[in-house]
Amino acid sequence: MLAIYGGMAARELIALAHDERPWLDACGDLEPTARSQAVITPVAMAAYYSSRAAEADADADAIANPTFVGTAAELDALLPQ
């Protein structure tokens, strides 16, 4: 976590958090800098971040086991122009 987020400023971290589903669900249309008493529940966080973890696992599997093996030029030749 520190390697990824440790060098970020507080405003950058806030911006990241305010773009994620738990914050959006709890705070709705509030401006990102507005104060709120909205509660982001542990259940909401667990549901969101467990789905993100599953996506990351799928991405890692796709990287480890690509369905196309070849050069960029070969891939470009397969794609519609």
Domains in the chain: boundaries = 2-66
Name residues whose C-beta falls within 8 Å of residue 22's C-beta, 6 or more positions apart in sequence. 40, 41, 44, 45, 48
Task: Scan for tokens 């794609």, then name that residue.
Answer: 79
Task: Kindly tell me if the per-residue pLDDT of 56 is higher than 80.
Answer: yes
- Whether the Cβ atoms of residue 75 and residue 68 lie closer than 8 Å to each other: yes
Element (H, E) at 32: none
Residue scoring higher pLDDT (47 or 63): 47
Q: In the predicted model, what is the mean pLDDT of residues 23-39?
A: 87
CA 79 from chain centre, in angstroms, equals: 27
Using CA atoms, how far apart are residues 48 and 21, in angstroms rounded to an integer?
Answer: 7
Q: Which band of pLDDT confidence, cut at 50, 70 and 90, is reported for residue 41?
A: very high
Residue 5's pLDDT is 86
Q: Which band of pLDDT confidence, cut at 50, 70 and 90, is reported for residue 4?
A: confident
